[in-house]
Structure 1
């Protein structure tokens, strides 16, 4: 039976998501409470009765406005940048090439031939065959 790697506890593994979800719910409840107070005060100012049936559409409308203006922009920035990095945009390739050139130069200064470290698929396959056979 193969050894299974140790899995972290649930909170340790998902702590960022849990904390983010908690902060989201806390801020959403805060928006609910303060928007309800504002609408009650507005209704009282105009001598009207607070109507919960009119509150919910206004609450969800402001929620989706906030999500559209803030959350979706952030998601696009994070997901879009990750997607372009994964696809290999010119900026990400340029950074890899610069880093590789710097490492090659350091190896040369130490008297090591950088070609020794080039990836060769055939050599790796042969080495694996010899080790297993």
Structure 2
């Protein structure tokens, strides 16, 4: 093949690569990322169910899920928090008079706190 033709093909290939990279960057995406999971974030959920400290959202990273942690004493909600959590695991346990529940989920805003009454115990 002619050297000029090969040089033209190489130039077009490089131009296409640059344009693809700019377009992907313009939309905040690259080949290694995906649309992020968004979770509620609150460091302290009050007994009335409202967020007392640092209400915001977080974007889950790789291997993170939305987490909701709740604590009940008898039938009364006493404490909770929401966040993005690395390797989140569902847990349900009792310590003395406290019923502690960790819930993990993988849909946007799925860690919403909705209920002041405790879930039924799995134990």
- Which structure is higher in helix share? 1
The higher radius of gyration belongs to: 1
User: If the length of structure 1 is used for normalisation, what is the TM-score?
Assistant: 0.26
> Relative contact order: is structure 1 or structure 2 higher (C-alpha 8 Å, sep ≥ 6)?
2
User: If the length of structure 2 is used for normalisation, what is the TM-score?
Assistant: 0.27
